[in-house]
Each structure stands twice: as C-alpha cells, then as structure tokens.
Amino acid sequence: MPNKKNSILIIEDSLAISMLIHEFLKKLDYHDVHTCNTGKAGIQSFSDLVNKGIVPVVFLDYHLPDMTANEIMSNILSIRPDTRIIIETADAKNEEQIKAALRDGAYQYVEKPIRYENLKNVIKTLEEEEPDIEKQTFDHGQKIESFLKMSTRISVMRLSEYSDTKVEVVKEYVKKLESEGRIQRIEDIKEITCNQCNSMRIAMNFYCPSCKSSNFKQGKLIEHFKCGNVSIDESYTNNTCPKCRKEIKILGVDYKAIDNYYICNDCGDKFPEPAHDYICVKCNNRFALDKAKWITSEGLKLVR
Ligand SMILES: [Zn+2]
Ligand SMILES: [Zn+2]
Ligand SMILES: [Zn+2]
C-alpha cells in the first residue's frame, strides 16, 4: 500500500531556494508544503502543525539570520523527537559541521545548490524508513531505547514522557542499560514543564509585540533620509518612496536598509525581535517564562 505523503515544512530565508524545493517536491507528489523564512516563524509554524496532529518533514536552511540551525532543531525535537529534519547546506565540504548537525538530531542533509536528483534520493530514503514510533507497538524497553538513540542527551523525565512509561520503570530500565555499559549518566538536566499538565512538550511561541498575532514575516526595512519614511522594501515600488513619492537613489547616502526586521501581517507593526512565550503542545496552555515550572532530573547519553 502506498504511504500517505508527509507534510513538509521548509524553513529557508531565500525565496528562490524555497520555491525550487517546493517545485521539486511537487514533482515527487508532495503537495502539503508550508514555507517560512525565519527560524522563529518556522518553529511557530511547526508547533501549529503539530497542534493539528501533523508532524511535517522539515527542510532547514543551515544559515538563517535569526537563529542557529542547532537552536531551531532543539526546539523542534523537543516538541517531537521523531521529526525528520533535513539540513540544507552550502558547505557540504565542511564535514565537521554536517557531522555535528547529524549528531544533534538532523536526519539527513542536502547540498546547495539543490539538485533534483539529490533531493529525490533523500526523499526516497525517507519514504523507505518510515519510523513512526508512536504508531508501532513497541514494548517499554524498545521505546526507551529508540528515544535514547534519537537524542544526543535526554533526561529521565523526558524519556518517561516520550515513551509513555512510568518514571520508576524508566529508572529500572536505565539501570539495566547502565550495567550493560550501553548508556552513560551525564549532568542533571533542568527543563521547562507546563504549569498546568506537567508536560515537557513545550514549544516557544513567537508573536507581534503590538497585537500578539503570530502572523509575521521577516523583511528588510528602508529608511528614506529626506522624509524620514521607514517601511518594508516592497513598499518602495520602482525605487519610489511611498511617502514623498521621490526616487531613492544611493544606498547609504539618501537611504539606508535595515535587515532582519519583523513585520506583522495583521497590524503592520515593525519590530526587531518578536516577543515570545511558551505553549504546551499537550494541553495548549500558554504561559510566560516566569510562570513556567522547572524540573530537574538525571541526564543520560547513549554510549556509541
Ligand atoms: Zn500542558
Ligand atoms: Zn521619502
Ligand atoms: Zn501585529
């Protein structure tokens, strides 16, 4: 029976590349494709999808302006550790970087410039290796081990939640693995939990500081010195200032560009950083950092 095609989330700041990937995926019969141009918008969109019961395969640009690939991956994997993240990198020669990304939980990588053949191969492997742990009937031990395998480091409490196993049972099993020399105890891990249901599946939630909408994009602002207008570059059609209708001429002389600003699609406000709080993926409770509950438990690492 053919697999149902996964949803895809592309987190990529270059519109051209993201359109290219989209095109290729269409050819491979993937039609539910979402795109975001910043890490923050990407995490937001990922947790929205998970809330709707969809776990997308993620294409992640290694170099995004607002967050490192590592930060984005750890946010995504803390929501769903079984997410397949495919890193797009232009430095495929930089083996260390790729190794580090794979170690931190990336599933695969594709080299930029992205070629159809390469992307097709990655997708083929992915389709053949459908892991979908939660749908399979594993016993506790197998579940615990598969989550250990997926993580560079994981706490006992998180392992208990992900594998849906009581903490005492996890601790027993961990003792057994430890005596067999297969895992190693590391320093304790302190983590955020939901102040309502104690879940550790917590996602960062980014929003516009003015109207609290999460519908924002990242863009470039242009300031026209002469009239003082500051607005998104798209509003300067044909290099004409939308306020004074004069032509903008020389960068740095009569106008300047301000990169990496966020623009709210709902209220139009412009801000250098979106505000953020946390959202519990399990019960949808939204809370600020100072209202979060913290929990500390032993950290574990698989011996490789
Ligand atoms: Zn909760
Ligand atoms: Zn002007
Ligand atoms: Zn707004």
Question: In terms of pLDDT, which residue wins out, 146 or 180?
Answer: 180
Are 171 and 290 found together in one domain? yes
Is residue 151 one of the residues assigned to a domain?
yes
Residue 208, pLDDT > 80, answer yes
pLDDT at 149: 83
Place 291 in a pLDDT band, splitting at 50, 70 and 90: very high
Is residue 2 one of the residues assigned to a domain?
no
Are 266 and 285 found together in one domain? no
CB 231 within 8 A of CB 248: no
Structure confidence by residue, pLDDT tens digits, 169-206: 999 999 999 999 999 999 999 999 999 999 998 888 88
Are 229 and 122 found together in one domain? no
Structure confidence by residue, pLDDT tens digits, 18-75: 999 999 999 999 999 999 989 999 998 998 898 888 999 999 999 898 888 988 998 9
Ion ligand 3 — residues with CB < 5 Å: 208, 210-211, 213, 264, 266-267, 269
Are 287 and 196 found together in one domain? yes
Q: What CATH number is given to the structural domain containing 171?
A: 1.10.10.10
Which-ligand-closest: CA of 283? 1
Is residue 109 one of the residues assigned to a domain?
yes
Would strands 8-11 and 183-193 be described as parallel, antiparallel, or unpaired? Answer: unpaired
pLDDT at 93: 67
Are 143 and 169 found together in one domain? yes
Are 72 and 120 found together in one domain? yes
Is residue 3 one of the residues assigned to a domain?
no
Structure confidence by residue, pLDDT tens digits, 220-276: 899 999 999 999 898 999 999 999 999 999 999 999 998 878 889 999 899 988 999
Is residue 69 one of the residues assigned to a domain?
yes
Phi, psi of 161 (to 5 degrees): -70, -50
Report the pLDDT averaged over residues 130-139. Answer: 59
Of 131, 166, 181, which residue constitutes the final position of a domain?
131
Residue 2, pLDDT > 80, answer no
Report the pLDDT averaged over residues 209-229. Answer: 91
Question: Ligand 2: distance of its center to the CA of 219 in Å?
Answer: 19
pLDDT at 11: 97
Are 17 and 154 found together in one domain? no
pLDDT at 153: 85
Are 122 and 60 found together in one domain? yes
CA distance 33 to 20: 12
Q: What CATH number is given to the structural domain containing 12?
A: 3.40.50.2300
Q: Number of structural domains, the chain?
A: 3
Which-ligand-closest: CA of 226? 2
Are 281 and 260 found together in one domain? no
Whether the upstream peptide bond of residue 242 has omega within 30° of 0, thus cis, is no
Q: What is the 3-state secondary structure (H, E, C) of the chain?
A: CCCCCCCEEEECCCHHHHHHHHHHHHHCCCCCEEEECCHHHHHHHHHHHHHCCCCCEEEEECECCCCEHHHHHHHHHHHCCCCCEEEEECCCCCHHHHHHHHHCCCCEEEECCCCHHHHHHHHHHHHHCCCCHHHCCCCHHHHHHHHHHHCCCEEHHHHHHHCCCCHHHHHHHHHHHHHCCCEEEEEEEEEEECCCCCCCCEEEEEECCCCCCCCEEEEEEEEECCCCCEEEHHHCHHHECCCCCCECCCECCCEEEEEEEEEECCCCCEECCCEEEEEECCCCCEECHHHCEEEEEEEEEECC
Are 262 and 285 found together in one domain? no
Are 40 and 170 found together in one domain? no
pLDDT at 131: 59
CA distance 110 to 119: 7
Ion ligand 2 — residues with CB < 5 Å: 224, 227, 229, 241, 243-244
Which-ligand-closest: CA of 206? 3
Of 131, 147, 177, which residue constitutes the final position of a domain?
131
CB 119 within 8 A of CB 110: yes
Question: Ligand 1: distance of its center to the CA of 147 in Å?
Answer: 21
Are 42 and 125 found together in one domain? yes
Lookup: tokens for 131: 């892991």
Of 114, 131, 148, which residue constitutes the final position of a domain?
131
User: Which range of residues forms the domain containing residue 253?
Assistant: 209-273
Question: Ligand 1: distance of its center to the CA of 41 in Å?
Answer: 22
